[in-house]
A and B are shown apart, each in its own frame.
Chain A
């Protein structure tokens, strides 16, 4: 009866089976030749696509920490361990993020540094939570990430609420911005940050004269910038990343839009300086944490990183601190087993590259210093550091 479909159905199943068996699971050794215990740590970020330069940066930061830990030799519970970094590409896509999250869980990672984007970290966090594997994101700033109540979700980057508040207040009070315009790129990150800035601006007594939107793939902003120009703002804040911020700054110049330009941590990168060249002058941007040279370990980190991987793009120090946090907690617990060191994570305190690292009950990083930078003579210079709450010593 259905015999004519038999051929086709059989072929379909056979070909699929062949493809599946072709990619067999590697039988990985649990111990190295010298009897060290292998501890796998996962790293997920977009390694392909428009944000791949940031993704690779996270990867490099994590790798630096892993290599240093291996070089100094870590012992857990009397056993020498060797750390191995398993890097995966989530393409900043939520669906891919869940697939690679499951893949890492299956591979037996003891912890995950990632993901880079909030939109990817949030769905993946459920998978890590179900498996009981701690996840520390170096760059996801959406409030929802720690609001979900997953005990395994942490981050070393201050969230949008803190950053937005500081920037908004700074714009109105310190920069004298009475008329404020805000643009966001309609991504989870850009919109989240812009919303918080808007709230803070209004709370500080500023007037929002324009709220415009773009997307994270566009290069032309003349239409919305022209529209904003007609409203005569003093300051313009952009919630988005450097590949958009740079042409935006340039187009502001050519259109004669005289407002001061501000951005969040997505703009505070060397890439921005390179892409915007002359138009970058005078642009202000915020970044969580202390300025890298203002930290005890900052300069050293920068030199080590530059030697191996080149210029720091943005979040590499946070990825570095995320790995250090994990290893510190493992050492405190005397074990690399997630169940054991997860309980230690909220208790650790150490001087990380980005500042004093400690986590609160939700998993957000304590302390939350925000530094504001301004471009002077083609370089980012520190304007002010705002510390919202000090880190209690334990």
Chain B
């Protein structure tokens, strides 16, 4: 039985005024977030939130490939790298070109989408773990090329990376410097926050629309049963390629923003570990569910940073620091992954479909269960 407060809330949710009021409050919170965080916790936390927003965009992109279409991609970060390097090449001293951001980002999205199709084409017949290793290989190949394309002609400047990248500039305002706006000082990290927030919301919106569209349903169909989907007239090849392309395009945009934001990129930022982290974000948060993915991205970006304060915690409880907090950070992160997966295997905020799969509700379970022998998905 659903508890009474839950029922109250479900009634309230449909009350127009409550809905509008809640959205308004959240809007205000989001608008003021950088100022509040900056004052309470320091500007580095705003920077962390900026990175979190970039990761949200990345995670939503991977969500299309893995969550909607069910294609296990372990080399996703390659598209992020493509977007970042494209921006760096077109807006830095490397080639002496300084194109504006509104020209580069769409190009980044398109080029990344092209790479997505490139990755997807030879992998159409592969299932599950074979697809995983090929995508992993693809990610590594891109990274190795980026590390080594500095001879005979210097394209990517090799392991030293490209620095002094132009910051994002909107309508004459450079986001790389502290600006004054209507009497409020807007440091660079705050300005980037608003830009990233706007783009993240756009990508969330696109994801929601995709989910409810014909393409979205086609993705779900090929994820659940590719043969049946093909029997229903879905062009599985095109649909899969579209999944790769769309997911890659989100990463391309996010990558371009990353380059402008950090001002320096090098192949070290685009490792296999990063791909794995993005995958963890969507699985941890709840695959296929946009809110879950956003939550996963936020938690995984913020959690390791928060763990830097473990030293203070130890100081409080034991009176001295037993173990260097830096040593513990990743360990606690790994433990958190394992524990969350053990207790919430469908993720923290699973999509409705998955909750049904996991629910203890007997009637639902007996319907879903295909046969006695079919023990694995």
Interface residues, chain A, CB within 8 Å of chain B?
1-13, 15-17, 19-26, 47-48, 88-89, 92-95, 98-100, 102-103, 105-107, 118-119, 122-123, 126, 142, 144, 148, 186-188, 190-192, 213
Contact = CB atoms under 8 A, between A and B. Distances in A.
27 contacts: A3-B19, A7-B13, A8-B295, A10-B22, A12-B291, A12-B295, A15-B295, A15-B298, A15-B299, A19-B303, A22-B306, A23-B41, A26-B312, A88-B308, A93-B269, A95-B51, A95-B269, A98-B47, A99-B47, A99-B48, A102-B43, A102-B44, A106-B43, A123-B263, A187-B159, A188-B160, A188-B161
Contact of B13 (A6, A19, A47, A126): A6
Nearest to B325: A89
Given A25-B42, A119-B268, 19 more contacts: A4-B13, A8-B289, A8-B290, A8-B291, A8-B349, A11-B291, A11-B349, A15-B298, A16-B299, A19-B302, A94-B161, A99-B44, A102-B43, A118-B160, A122-B264, A123-B262, A142-B160, A190-B159, A191-B158
Interface in B169-189: 189
B85 to A, nearest CB: 14
Nearest to A187: B159
A213 B14 CA distance: 63
Interface of B: 9, 13-14, 19, 22-23, 26, 29-30, 37, 40-45, 47-48, 51, 147-148, 158-161, 163-164, 189, 208, 262-266, 268-269, 289-292, 294-295, 298-299, 302-303, 305-306, 308-309, 312, 324, 326-327, 329-330, 349
Contacts of A106: 42-44
A249 B295 CA distance: 49
Max chain A C-beta neighbours (<10 A), residue from B51, B164, B265, B266:
B266
Top 3 nearest A-B pairs (CB, nearest first) are: A8-B291, A106-B42, A123-B264
Max chain B C-beta neighbours (<10 A), residue from A6, A12, A93, A105:
A12
A171 B14 CA distance: 79
A274 to B, nearest CB: 22
Contact of A8 (B292, B308, B327): B292
B23 A98 contact: no
A191 B149 CA distance: 13
B350 to A, nearest CB: 11
A103 B46 CA distance: 10
B47 A123 contact: no
B298 A25 contact: no
A104 B82 CA distance: 31
Contacts of B22: 6, 10
B28 to A, nearest CB: 11
A192 B48 CA distance: 31
Contacts of B295: 8, 11-12, 15-16
Nearest to A117: B268
Max chain A C-beta neighbours (<10 A), residue from B23, B41, B159, B308:
B159
A7 B9 CA distance: 9
A22 to B, nearest CB: 7
B40 A25 contact: yes
Contacts of A98: 47, 262, 264
Contacts of B298: 12, 15-16
B106 to A, nearest CB: 25
Contacts of B159: 119, 186-188, 190-191
Contact of B148 (A6, A93, A119, A186): A186
Nearest to B43: A106
Given A10-B22, A16-B302, A94-B266, A119 B41 contact: no
B37 A20 contact: yes
Contacts of B164: 148
Contacts of B349: 8, 11-12
Contacts of B312: 26
Nearest to A118: B160
Contacts of A2: 19, 23
Max chain A C-beta neighbours (<10 A), residue from B163, B264, B305:
B264
Nearest to A106: B42
Given A8-B349, A98-B262, A119 B161 contact: yes
Nearest to A95: B269
A338 to B, nearest CB: 17
Given A15-B295, A94-B161, A186-B159, A119 B266 contact: yes
A148 to B, nearest CB: 7
A103 B295 CA distance: 24
